[in-house]
Amino acid sequence: MDRRTKIVATIGPASDDVDTLTRMIDAGMDVARLNFSHGTPEEKARTAQRVRAAADRLERPVAILQDLPGPKLRIGPLDEVAELKPGDRVTFEAGADGAGDAERMSVAWPGLADALSPGDVLYLTDGTVRLRVETVRRAEHAVETVVELGGTVSSRQGLNVPGELADLPSVGEEDLELLRFGESLGVDLVALSFVRRPEDVAEVRRHTRLPLIAKIEKPQAVEFAEQIIHAADCVMVARGDLGIELEIEEVPLVQKHVIALAGGLARPVITATQMLDSMVASSRPTRAEVTDVANAILDGTDALMLSQETAVGAHPVESVAMMASIARRTEREAPYGHWNETRVRRLERHDQDPAYTVAYNACAAARQLDLAALVVPTLSGRSARIISAHRPQVPIVALSPGKETVRRCSLMWGVQAARMRRHEVTEELIADAARRVVELGWAKPGQRVGITAGLPSGRPGTTSLFQVQTV
C-alpha cells in the first residue's frame, strides 16, 4: 500500500524550475505551496506554470496552494540586510518613504503606534529577534524600541505583536486582489493567514468558491478553533507564528487539539513549520525532527508541510523524499481502521447527513469483507473527504469528471484520484467506476471493491448508496 499522508512543499528559489519540480513530484510532493508573502504575482504565475508542466510530465495530479499574506504586520524594504545587536535602537514608522536600515524601518499599518505602549514586546524574524518598546510617538505614528535579542533582519519580514490587534483588518484589499489573481492562475486551494474568528473565513468565502484553508497561528484562533475549522474546508497548524503568539510549550498541545478537532469534523489538517528544518542546510534531518514528523502522523494529520526546506534549502528533493520515507514507515504502525473513539464519535454526530453514514459503513465493510479498495465517484471531492476522515485500511480511489477536483484530492489522506466522465444514471456510474479502477491498475480483475454513489446521479452532495462490486 502506498503512502497515505500527503506532502505539501513550498516552492521558492531552490525549487523553481521544471526539472527540480519534476523530481520533487516523483519523490512524493502532492501539493505545491506558493507563498504570496514573498515575490511578485508575476513570479508566482511563472511558478504555477512550471508546476503544471512538471505534473503533466509525470501525468500526476498536483494541487497548487495559494498562501495569502493575511493581516500580518511586515516591515518595508531595507537597503541591505540589517544586523541587530542587543542594545541597538530601532524606530518603526508607519508609511515611511524609501528603504529602511538597521535604525529605521517602515510598517504599512498606521495603527501600530496606537496599539502599543512602553514595555510591550515585538518580534522579528520568526521570533528570533526581540525588541522592547521604549517610546511611542502616536502623533508621528512612530514606535521607538531597543533590541533585547539580536539577529539578522531582511526586507519584508514579519513583525509580531503578541496579543490581539483589534483594529487590524482581518481581510485586506491586498489579499482580495491576490485572491482574484490566484483564481486567474487556476490555483486549487487558498490558505488564509492569521485567521482569528470564523467570520474571517466567511468574509473571504463571499469572494471565492475555492476551498479555503484556515491557518491556526493566533491565540484567538485557538480559542475559536472548532468554529473556524467548521467554517473552513481545511485547517493548518502553522507552528511558526503560533510559537511566537503563544508560550512555546503550548504549541504541541495546540497541535494535538487542532488535529483531533479537524478529524472529528472531517476536515483535512496540515501540520506545518520546521518539520525538517535542519535539511535547509544538511542532507539529513535530526532524530528529533524525524520523531516530530512521525508523531504528527500518529496524531492523525492528513498532510505535512515543508517550508524553507524546499523553498530556499540546499536539498529540496531530498527533503520531500525523507518526509515520504518517514510517512511510509510510520503508517505501518498507525492504528488505521481502529482510529480513536473520540474521532469516530464526532463523525457519527452528523446523523442527518447520509454521506457520513455511508462513509462509516463503507469503511466497516472494507474491513469485514476484505475489499481491495473503496471507490468514490465524486463531483466536488466531499464524499472522498468524509471517507478519508474515517481512516479506512484500504486505498480510497476518487474518480471525478473535474480536473480541479482530482487535484484537490491530493491534500486528502489516503486518496488517489483520477478523471472519469460524468454520468447521469447511477447504474452507469457504478459500472464505469468499476471498469476505471481496473484500467488505472488500482484494483485487479476479480477483486472486490466498495463503490459509493448517489441519487440522483450527477448532483453533488447526494451520496446515499454503497455497493460491493467484483471488478
- Indicate which residues carry an active-site annotation: 33, 74, 215, 273
Indicate the pairing of strand 396-400 with strand 415-419.
Answer: parallel
Interacting residues of 460 by C-beta distance below 8 A, sequence separation 6+? 378, 379, 380, 382
Question: Three-state DSSP class for 277?
Answer: helix
Interacting residues of 178 by C-beta distance below 8 A, sequence separation 6+? 36, 41, 66, 68, 69
- DSSP lists the bridge partners of residue 416 as 397
Of 190, 197, 188, the C-alpha closest to 216 is 197
Q: How many CB atoms lie within 10 A of CB 226?
A: 15
148, 131 in Cβ contact below 8 A? yes
Question: Three-state DSSP class for 206?
Answer: coil
**DSSP code per residue over 29-92:** --EEEEETTSS-HHHHHHHHHHHHHHHHHHT---EEEEE---S--BB--BSS-EEE-TT-EEEE
- Residue that has been written with the C-alpha cell 523553481 in this structure: 16
C-alpha neighbours within 13 Å on the C-beta side of residue 48: 23
259, 222 in Cβ contact below 8 A? no
